[in-house]
Amino acid sequence: MKGLVLFTAAATVLAVAPTSSALAAPAAPGQPEAGAAGIPWGQCASPGLQRRGAECGLLSVPLDYSKPNGKKIQIAVSRIKAKVAAKDYQGIMLVNPGGPGASGLTLSVLGEFVPNGAGEAYDWIGFDPRGVGSSVPALSCDPDYFNGPRPEYIPWNQNIEKTWLNRSKGYAKDCGTAGGNLLDHMTTVDSVNDMESIRKALGAKQINFYGFSYGTYLGQVYGTLHPDKVRRMVLDGNVDVRKVWYQANLDQDVNFERNVKIWFDWLAKYDSVYHLGKTGKQVELRWYAEQNKLRAKPAGGVVGPDEWTDIFLYSGYYQSTWLELADAFAGWANDGNTDVIVAAYEDYIGPGDDNGYAVYNAVQCTDVQWPQSWNQWERDNWRTFLKAPFMTWDNAWYNAPCLYWPAKASKPVKVDGSKVKSVLFVGTTLDAATPWEGSLEARRRFPNGSLIAEVGQTTHANSLNGNACVDDAIADYLATGKLPARKNGDRPDLSCDALPQPDPTAASAQAKALRADSLTREPLYPVHH
């Protein structure tokens, strides 16, 4: 997949009285559970992790958990230890940035972004899920798959459609060759089992977990299968578990259509800066006109209409990209600046590495059986395209390898959070990748959880990113176990105003751009969640 009445941002966090178990400090880390492998710690390859004194290692886990003594694979794990006295220690905090397919190894740094030092009481555990990044083996099927210019996304004729179906079939076949037996063991449940292996290896009775985007699905499934092992969870940008994964993609298309129009309106507001149109509609027409020119002659020989769409998809993901993408759009449209648009292609699409995309398919194509009739895909995507042309066919072809995936699909876990004692959900009400309804559904399924809404924000999975109303509530929860008081009805329990949109007329606009997404966000390719 490509991979939600305003309240004051200063709203008081009302809290229910926490249970004694929620406040109890966990035991100090112990020895691995009987029969569990340990993690041989050493120096991390990442300079950023080295500067923070992190440790890194590989944990051996079963390829197939039904055969615990069979073939092993290795999960790359990092740890940044707590910085508090033993009596104040809060336990291990596993982190996942989403995807599926995103590397989480460096995400052990996340604790330093929790306000008021609340993150210092935890051991922060980053890890690359199976098949990802530094884990062994890492899945790669065709590193050149995203090299531009690619064939036109929109299947205006049967030749285009056939070309993309053949490309998708070829990619699936390449993954079968590259992945072998690994492809049969890449489901969300397999990764949940790996999280359990990490817990056991670290000698922890319970885990804390911070999941972004697809990571919220990991959290919801973990809580369903191992509710007694959950101490605290923060789940930000929540997957709607009723829609994994086919319908979720179609829903994304409609929500990204809304978000790119919000960006077009923002560009029109600053027409004095960008000169792309005085109304959102004028900017939109200009965007499609420039895309059409690239059909005839790709910029720099690489940026055709597909690449143009993929670049600007990120305006619907993160407002932190708005200034840079606006400069790229204006630089190309007004000045014919090839360098700026090719640089955007290289930065945002990242050709030459398909590990994230390969794992994305490996998980989603086997988590659940996708429709096996291309006629259904064709019908549903044309229907969606009529109201959401911006990325519908982009997203359809992104997922099309699932039509041909060479591994057996399983059935998704029926998520039931009734036995989980504590979870804090976070969502932005205009999230396109994981639409707001998913956060409401998660709250329904976890009756002991509370939900924070960042109202009017389009940025996906936006916690610990500078909104004090949101971030301070998270810090309070991580420090004390207190949740915002659960309200009656189907609604958030705490609502926070979104921060203002970027202002390109401010002298320090670029300097004020939100910190790099690479620490806490998805890789730069279209993903769900």
Closest CA to 494 of 511, 506, 482: 482
Catalytic residue among 103, 213, 320, 450: 213
Catalytic residue among 168, 240, 320, 460: 460
Label the pairing between strands 449-455 and 494-497: parallel
Any idea what DSSP says for residue 35? T
Is 373 a residue of the active site?
Answer: no
Q: Do 452 and 426 contact (CB within 8 A), yes or no? A: yes
Give the Cα separation of 64 and 474 in Å (integer): 36
Q: Do 96 and 65 contact (CB within 8 A), yes or no? A: no
Give the Cα separation of 381 and 523 in Å (integer): 25
Any idea what DSSP says for residue 262? H
Beta bridge partners of 495: 453
Q: Do 308 and 291 contact (CB within 8 A), yes or no? A: yes
Is 140 a residue of the active site?
Answer: no
Closest CA to 96 of 218, 197, 201, 188: 218
> Which amino acid is present at 317?
Y
> Which amino acid is present at 119?
G
Catalytic residue among 253, 431, 471, 517: 431
- What strands lie across the sheet with 55-62, from one edge to the other? 55-62, 72-80, 122-128, 91-96, 207-212, 230-236, 423-428, 449-455, 494-497
Is 431 a residue of the active site?
Answer: yes
Catalytically active residues are 213, 431, 460
